[in-house]
Amino acid sequence: MSPWDNELALLLARVQFAFTISFHFLFPAFTIGLASFLAVLEGLWLATGKSVYANLFRYWVKIFAVVFAMGVVSGVVMSYQFGTNWSVFSDKAGPIIGPLMAYEVLTAFFLEAGFLGVMLFGLNKVGKKLHFTATCAVAVGTFISAFWILAVNSWMQTPTGYEIGANGQFLPGPSWPAIIFNPSFPYRLVHTTIAAYLTTAFAVGAVGAWHLLKDRDNPGARTMFSMAMWMAAIVAPIQIFVGDMHGLNTLEHQPVKVMAMEGHYQSHPDGAPLILFGIPNSAEKRVDYAIEIPKASSLILKHDLNAPLAGLDTVPDTDEPPIGIVFWAFRIMVGLGVAMAGLGLWSLFARWRRHLYDWTLLHRAAVVMGPAGFVAVLAGWVVTEVGRQPFTVYGLLRTADSASPLDAPAVAFSLAAFVVTYFAVFGAGIWYLLRLMKKAPDAHEAGLDGSPIRSAGITPAAGMIEGDVA
Amino acid sequence: MMDLTVIWAGIIGFAIVAYVVMDGFDLGIGILFPRLKVGTERDTAMNSIAPVWDGNETWLVLGGGGLMAAFPLAYAIILPALYAPIIAMLLGLVLRGVAFEFRWRDPAHRPVWDVAFTLGSTVATFAQGITLGALLQGITVEGRAYAGGWWEWLSPFTCLTGLGLVIGYALLGSAWLIWKTEGSLQEQAYRHAWRLGFALLAIIALVSLATLYLDAQYHRRWLVYPGVLATAQVPLATLIVSVLFFRSLKLRRHLQPFLYVLALFGLCIVGLGISIWPDVIPARLTIWEAAAPYRSQVFMLVGAVIMVPIILAYTAWSYWVFRGKVGAEGYH
């Protein structure tokens, strides 16, 4: 293989991983929140007996089934991507991250999959209480899954608790908690989980708002919009606070990533400016057309206007991530986060003035903000993953030294196959989701266990009959 | 002393067997799908696996994830060596998995998703069969990495094992349908089971004979006296199980054919074990050379010992919930 061919194969492998993980991440970002939302709906139904909750459960469980299926199949791909395209990384980091991922399978994937069948199809077979248990098991499973996979990711960002073996492998040290609870893990776990909840809240809120625009008296639309806006109002501000803590943690452990996020090419010995916008110019090592607030970056990051902040001039070029991508992705994420908190505040105001269900402009804004969570989650992921470059295990193993010994054509061919299949399959899936969401929740929502049954021309089984609570 | 590496080889082996058995009939139904009548028959066949396929597929993730965790070097060599079949398998599983949901969501395009279901199931199965064959025929290794080209896996032998697995899973699928359905669909399944049964036996015989001449190691292990006295029990048992299987078809048993097909798969896996144990990549890498360090093994073993029985318990419970014959109207 020529060196050029090597470079190309590496680039294609990185594009393939970015492509498959980005597509995959959209689905769990939605199902983590949606599973909890469904558990809350079913719990409220059991507690109050109000049919609106049962109807909403049936409405959203159909959407959940489609999203979950896409999450599962795209997730299986991920568990093999490490081996097919990043075999050197798998060999070296396998003894550490392999067991964490095995725990994810053992404690989360089986739990979700094992109870999913009962959750989707089993209400008439197991009774309400056991069915609620199954729904909760799926919801807990999604969270446990996030716990382990984020432990893996965080260890790659801030590796601790390892030893280096004679063959170059990372070996576990005496303490597994030291590996799992590495410095960035608690922050990343909380930040990502809240992001998933917000993503769901804004998707649910947009669906509710869409239907309120058509019929402001639809009880299902009112309930889901109200629940979603409570989440937005309470959780979005918390997320901004948590995000700030995560940023400070990153400054401590991965300062170069923060330099890229901030666009700080130069060191600032007495107070660094906060660059709001600008165009990073890595060739000239400056940010063109910068709009900046003097000393504000030092205030945010060091809580001191005049605190010195080191810039990328202190780092060798070969250890820098791509600045522009990290810089822009960070601004997209923060901008959307602030907009989400803004919509949450607006909804509080509307609620206080008793216009939550008839303020058309608010509903339109909520519809527009429907995809905001997904975009913000992907942008945040880009910040942290691209910001980790040029390493796979931060500071220890370079991305260029992690890839499989594959020829560029092989990687190009598989990438093309993934792109074609994913756009066709998940494009259709997202289309079906939008179609399900377009239908207004009605007072006699059919259950999912009804769907295969109905299609065969038989009436839906009795079970979740409206208000059918003993 | 029973060492941890052997225990882990056992656990990964168990996950792979669990996967082959459980997703085998799901994929088999996908392979048989074009032979089933549009409407009631297809809907019933789909209903019979809709609640369980996801859990079944998870064993594949445990097999892959577990291999990376317990034998990282094997994972790092085998996956690049089988790059094309693995990617094809993954894409096949994507098509197969979404078809479960999409065909109900979009009746206007149901024929398209039915084709996707069959295509995905068949490609995934064929690729798994190729993977097995490629492992048996040998992989070029240098140092800690795969050193062959990206077509090394392709040979007449691997195509034969691919075809064999397609037939085997289709047989599992028809035996599952015999157990879980009734009426015309069950009749269909009986007919398929006869034909597929004979085809599978033929292909097992072919693959077994071909294996003996792939590598001197296999030849030695199977045929040299006195080992042959033990190894000869495997083909003998296969013959007996086959007779019992066809007899159960003749007697119109419902559950027995499925159990006998499982036994056939079990015997094939025992045969595989005789050929390659204790290598993870035959003649190149033993399980001890590929194993993760002691601390990784211990940490995971705690999880596996606690979790696997719990997983088996609630998996069994889920199957119990959906027990009995399934009709087009759902579960009776």
Interchain CB distance below 8 Å, A107 and B307:
yes
Summarize the confidence of residues A413-425 as an average pLDDT: 92
| DSSP conformation class of B144 | T
| Phi and psi torsions of B52, nearest 5° | -120, -15
The whole-number pLDDT of residue A173 equals 86
Distance, in angstroms, between B79 CA and closest chain A CA? Answer: 5
On the question of pLDDT at B329 being above 80, the answer is no
Domain containing residue A13:
3-267+310-455
Contacts of A106 in chain B (CB under 8 A): 62, 303-304, 307-308, 311
Q: Is position A160 within any domain? A: yes
The whole-number pLDDT of residue A448 equals 62
Q: Is position A278 within any domain? A: no
- What are A208-252's pLDDT values in tens digits? 999 999 988 888 899 999 999 999 999 999 999 999 999 989 988
| Interface contact B322, partner A, CB < 8 A | yes
- What are A174-184's pLDDT values in tens digits? 889 999 999 99
**pLDDT range class, residue B79, cuts 50, 70, 90:** confident
> How high does pLDDT run on average in chain A?
87
Q: What is the ipTM of this complex?
A: 0.84
Q: Are A434 and A197 in contact (CB under 8 A)?
A: no
Query: Out of B97, B299, B318, whose CB is closest to A114?
Result: B318
| Interface contact B58, partner A, CB < 8 A | yes
Contacts of A430 in chain B (CB under 8 A): none
Q: For a pLDDT cut of 90, what percent of chain B falls above it?
A: 24
Tally the domains of chain A.
1
| Interface contact B185, partner A, CB < 8 A | no
Can you read off the two tokens belonging to residue A280? Answer: 């990073």
**Candidates A79, A110, A142, A413, partner chain B, best to mutate (most B CBs within 10 A):** A110
Length of chain B in residues, anyone?
332
CA distances from B41 to B32, B34, B46, B135 (A): 11, 11, 9, 38
Distance, in angstroms, between A467 CA and closest chain B CA? Answer: 23
A170 pairs with which residues across the strands? Answer: A164
Which has the minimum average pLDDT: A229-233, A362-366, B275-279?
B275-279
Contacts of B64 in chain A (CB under 8 A): 79-80, 83
In angstroms, the CA B71 to CA B78 distance is 11
Q: For a pLDDT cut of 70, what percent of chain A falls above it?
A: 94
Distance, in angstroms, between B245 CA and closest chain A CA? Answer: 30
Summarize the confidence of residues A53-60 as an average pLDDT: 90
Cβ atoms within 10 Å of A21's Cβ, excluding its own = 18
The whole-number pLDDT of residue A449 equals 53
In angstroms, the CA A99 to CA B298 distance is 10
Judged by CB atoms within 8 Å, which residues 128-167 of B form the interface with A?
A: 144-147, 150
A397 pairs with which residues across the strands? Answer: A393
Q: Is position A470 within any domain? A: no
| Phi and psi torsions of A390, nearest 5° | -90, 35
A288 pairs with which residues across the strands? Answer: A279
**Candidates B48, B82, B100, B104, partner chain A, best to mutate (most A CBs within 10 A):** B104
C-alpha dihedral (A182, A188, A190, A195), degrees to nearest 10: -170
Which has the minimum average pLDDT: A120-124, A371-375, A400-404, B206-210?
A120-124
First to last CA, chain B: 51
- What are B153-199's pLDDT values in tens digits? 889 999 999 999 999 999 999 999 998 888 888 888 899 989 999 99
Q: Is position A251 within any domain? A: yes
Between chain A and chain B, the number of residue pairs with CB atoms below 8 A apart is: 254
Interchain CB distance below 8 Å, B66 and A105:
yes
Summarize the confidence of residues A388-399 as an average pLDDT: 91
The whole-number pLDDT of residue A468 equals 36
> How high does pLDDT run on average in chain B?
86
Interchain CB distance below 8 Å, A90 and B77:
no
**pLDDT range class, residue A283, cuts 50, 70, 90:** confident
Q: Is position A179 within any domain? A: yes
- What are B116-163's pLDDT values in tens digits? 999 999 999 999 999 999 888 888 888 888 888 888 888 999 999 999
CA distances from A85 to A80, A93, A332, A412, B280 (A): 8, 14, 30, 11, 20
> For residue A354, is it left (φ>0), alpha (ψ between -120 and 50) or beta?
left
- What are A321-354's pLDDT values in tens digits? 999 899 999 999 999 999 999 999 999 999 999 8
The whole-number pLDDT of residue A447 equals 66
Pairing outcome for strands A170-172 and A162-164 = antiparallel
Tally the domains of chain B.
1
B330 pairs with which residues across the strands? Answer: B327
Summarize the confidence of residues B286-294 as an average pLDDT: 86
Q: Are A205 and A369 in contact (CB under 8 A)?
A: yes
On the question of pLDDT at A462 being above 90, the answer is no
- What are B202-223's pLDDT values in tens digits? 998 898 888 888 877 787 777 7
β strands within chain B, DSSP E: 141-142, 145-146, 279-281, 285-286, 326-327, 330-331
- What are B26-46's pLDDT values in tens digits? 999 999 999 888 888 888 888
**pLDDT range class, residue B258, cuts 50, 70, 90:** very high
Query: Out of A98, A107, A417, whose CB is closest to B292?
Result: A98
Q: Is the pTM of this model over 0.80?
A: yes
Distance, in angstroms, between B206 CA and closest chain A CA? Answer: 30
| Inter-helix orientation angle A408-438/A3-48, to 10° | 20
Pairing outcome for strands B279-281 and A162-164 = unpaired
The whole-number pLDDT of residue B326 equals 78
Domain containing residue B118:
4-331
Can you read off the two tokens belonging to residue B118? Answer: 């069959």
